[in-house]
Amino acid sequence: MVSENSKSIDGLLDEYEHQAQAYWDFMTPQKRAEHAWLAGLIDGEGSIDIIKRYSKRSLQPSYVARLQLGMTDKDTIIRAREIAETGRIYVRRQHADRNKFPNQKTYYVWVATTQQTATVLQRCLPFLYTKRKRAEIALTLIQDINLHRPRPSPARIEYREKLRQFMHILNT
C-alpha cells in the first residue's frame, strides 16, 4: 500500500477474522446470539464512518473511526450498549418548538469511537452484511493508528485520508 512494510488490507482482514474466531471460540451461544442481533442493528440502523479532526496543537490531522446507532427506542439503544460493553449514549431532545413538531420523539444515539469501535466491529464482523466493507475499512484505519503512533508520517496521513475518502464514497 503506502510503504513496503505495510500489511495489505487482506492481511489485516485475515488477522481480524482470526481474532474474531478466537473470541467466538470462548463465547457462549447466548453471547453469540447477542452479537448477531447487534450486527443486525448496525447493518440496518447504524453508521460507520471516519472523521478527520484538526487540533490547535498539531498541524497534522487525526482520524477517528466512529460507530453510531440511533433510534427513538431507548431500551434498544441501552441493550445495544450493554452487549457492546463500550461506548456512550447521547440523547437528542425534542425540537424546542413543540407546537411546530408535536409528534417528534426523543432520539437516542449510541456512539463508539476508534478502539471501542474496533472491539465491537471485531465481535460483529462475522454477521455484518450491508456494512461489512465499511467495518473492514474502519478496522484497517484502527490497525494503522495502532501501528504508527504517536506521530504518523506524511505517507501514513495520506493513507488514512484515502481510507476516509473511500468510506465517504461508500456512505453516499
What is the Cα–Cα distance from 145 to 151, expressed in whole angstroms? Answer: 10
Extended beta strands in the chain, E state: 46-54, 61-71, 88-92, 107-113
Report percent pLDDT > 90 for the chain: 58
pLDDT digits (tens, 9 = 90+) for 6-43: 455 566 666 666 666 666 677 788 988 999 999 999 99
What is the Cα–Cα distance from 95 to 103, expressed in whole angstroms? Answer: 10
- Pairing of the two strands 107-113 and 61-71: antiparallel
pLDDT digits (tens, 9 = 90+) for 81-124: 999 999 999 998 766 566 666 777 888 999 999 899 999 999 99
Classified by CATH at the fold level, domain 9-171 comes out as: Endonuclease I-creI (3.10.28)
Residue 3, pLDDT score: 44
Query: So where are the chain's domains?
Result: 9-171
